[in-house]
Amino acid sequence: EVQLLESGGGLVQPGGSLRLSCAASGFTFSMYAMNWVRQAPGKGLEWVSTLSGSGGSSYYADSVKGRFTISRDNSKSTLYLQMNGLRAEDTAVYYCAKDPVVGATSGFYFEFWGQGTLVTVSS
C-alpha cells in the first residue's frame, strides 16, 4: 500500500524559511517522479514542483521559482521542499503526490496523495 507522510509545516514569519519532508513507502521510490501540490485555505489546488526519480530534473511553478528547492534522498525514500523567502500567499496545505509512470521525468496526473502539512506565513 502506497503511503506518503508529510511533515515540517508550521507558523513562520514573512521572509522566513521552512523545510518540508515527505516519507514514502509501499513502492520503489527511486523509480517515480514526485511532486508538491499546495492548497490555500478554502481554495483550489496549485502544482508547486516536480522532481524526477533520479533527482536530475526539477520543475517549478513560476510563483515559487528561485525561492523553493525540491530534493530527494532515495536511500531514505524521502522527498523534501526547502522554502525560503516565504510570503503570506504561500500559506497553504502542502501535499506530496506521486506520479503514476515508472521512469518519467515530469508531468502526469497525481496518482497518490499524502495527508498534507499546513504552512502558515504570518507575523
What's the closest the beta carbon of residue 123 comes to other proteins, in angstroms?
27
Positions 57 through 116 that interact with other proteins (CB under 8 A) = 59, 61-62, 95, 100, 106-116
Pick the closer one to other proteins by CB: 44 or 56.
44
Answer yes or no whether residue 1 interacts with other proteins by CB under 8 A: no
- Farthest CA pair distance, the chain: 42
Q: Which stretch binds other proteins (CB under 8 A): 10-18, 22-30, 42-50, 68-76?
A: 42-50
What's the closest the beta carbon of residue 59 comes to other proteins, in angstroms?
7
What's the closest the beta carbon of residue 73 comes to other proteins, in angstroms?
23
> What's the N-to-C CA distance of the chain in angstroms?
40
CA distance 49 to 51: 7
**Taking a C-beta distance cutoff of 8 angstroms, is the pair 123, 16 a contact?**
no
Of 106, 118, 97, the C-alpha closest to 35 is 97
Contacts of 102 (CB under 8 A, 6+ apart): 31, 32
Residues that bind other proteins (CB under 8 A): 44-47, 59, 61-62, 95, 100, 106-116
